[in-house]
Structure 1
Amino acid sequence: MRDRLFFMRNVPRGTFCTEDCCLLRFCACCAAPKRAFHDSGELTENLRSNNYDVIITCNSQGSMIKFKVFVVRYGGCPMLLMKEMNFVDYRAEVAKTRAIILPVGAFEVWGPHLPVGADTLVAEEIANRISEKIGWVVGPSVPVGYSESLFAPEGGTITVRPESLRNYLYDIVESLAETGVKRFCFVGPHLGNVPIITEIATHLRRTRNVKCCLIDWWRIIQPICKGILKYDGRPAHAHAAEAGTSTFMYLRPDLVKAERLKDVGLAANEYPDIPQFAPFVETYPEAHVGDPTPASAEKGEQIVGKTVERVVEFLKQWH
């Protein structure tokens, strides 16, 4: 095994990396490594103007060469994840803000094209982006929520009882509040968790004078999406439709099965104003609603960028 460093610029402290790998068949006469290096050089030039660095390494063995491209983003604040911090650094960071970001997600069917952990992954990705812009610590994520309405008998959804989620989440927040945290920013895309978060937040404000806010992702993006998406209203924002799929194409394109995108339309309902509590997968066997086919990473980038900017603007003035 030979390791060769093809390219490395100055990488400042407080950066983080995302890794993209590809395998190339090595041929002595085709100069594949040279072409890969040339492509990476072009990528580097495109990224320089946006405060990015690129590190390219190459591992070769036999007839295979594996290139690793590390894209390093810097500028703003380093991302602060409590699970990766020692207690000394954690205490120092929290003392600056007395604030914590808490991602609260869900595991449920999200169409054949998106992962079942979509809400959890979005909550974590958005929490991380907020952290690096404002310098707040991201606390432990709660990956599974109340998803009874999307339960799928054949598998794909995990749900917990409302009281289980309430007790677990309350204990986390209470534990943090006892150590001096005065503000909690919940990032909770899943609608089924909203009443539980609301109950906990209201109780904390009354009993401890602790402030809480909720970034209800799939609702807060709706006015921002006007002019970005092809559709509007429910066709755009229904479960795993254009808005959700675009968001995922930008945040985690590696997890999107684009070949499975399919327009399933909206089920006819003469009384949409009256809740009827029909199991979701009975009405929508494909586990998604509407038409995700117009979705794109470019749309997702606009949605995420503008919404995170608005959230950060709010948090900076929220005391």
Structure 2
Amino acid sequence: MNGDKRRILHIDDDPAITRMMHARLAQHDYVVHQLNDPTCWRGALVNGEYRVVLLDIEMPQLNGLEVLQQIKQFDIGVAVIMFTGKLKMNLVFEALGYGAEYCLFKPAEDLRPLLDALEASFYRIDHWRAAAAYAARQLRIEQKTTELKTKLRASQSNSTAISGQMPAGFDWTKFETYLVLRGAISPQMLELARTALARSVKPIGQIALQGGYLSVADLMQVLQHQADTQALFGATAVELGLLTREQVLELLEKQKHLSTTPQDAIITTGAMTPANLNRYLAEYLREMESSSSWSVPSPEAIDPHPTATASSPSHTA
């Protein structure tokens, strides 16, 4: 234990007692600072940053029990060892009840009880500090974990959350091939998403889905029927009786403020959920960063009808 940790404030109105205690404890590597006016305890405690206080109970200027209560109200972490020259157990119990760590009788001819009390007090202080530091670290970890979880939830709710982090020259076509190879999306659903993207139907379809105009099943019906008829998305939805002309006009007005991206097309067609798409995109980017030579086969090399891949939109785990 270094000298900084073994500093003690001794409060007693008798200078002879504080000088004697200073000399005796110095032999055991304690640094004792003397204070003979108990009314000045606050300034001494603040300026000296003491963690252990030796305090006399009977003092004319201010009763030691009152000083004890004030110290504990000021900083409950300060260890206080009380001294009394009167053999009155009620004083002992009262001091302990106010938060004193120990109450010893003086004159202290045998220094061992005080040394034991000091060692135990400093040990507890070190233990409390370590526990507080550990609790603070755990709190920071919990706060960081919560922050990361919040960011993750935000990225999962936004289909384009990761797209802004893509490196320059990112090839979306290769990523789509990667999705097929991983079984995350079927070639049929990918083709449907590409068709939707080519016809710029994503915004109106996504708005219709998010706004409650259409269900996922309705949206799929519109897109599939549109692929057969080559009609516009809005006209197809009206023809199927899923939207009114007024609703189509509302969606087209909202569409002006949106842009179409490949990932939006995949999500809008129900081929993948935003969470799954972002998860696979993050994995793909990590693989690209870990190996500059990493590549996937060209789209032409993939069997367009793999037997192990389901074409249902629900197969997106």
Calculate the TM-score normalised by the size of structure 2: 0.24
Larger % of helix: which? 2
When Rg is computed on C-alpha atoms for both structures, the one with the higher figure is 2
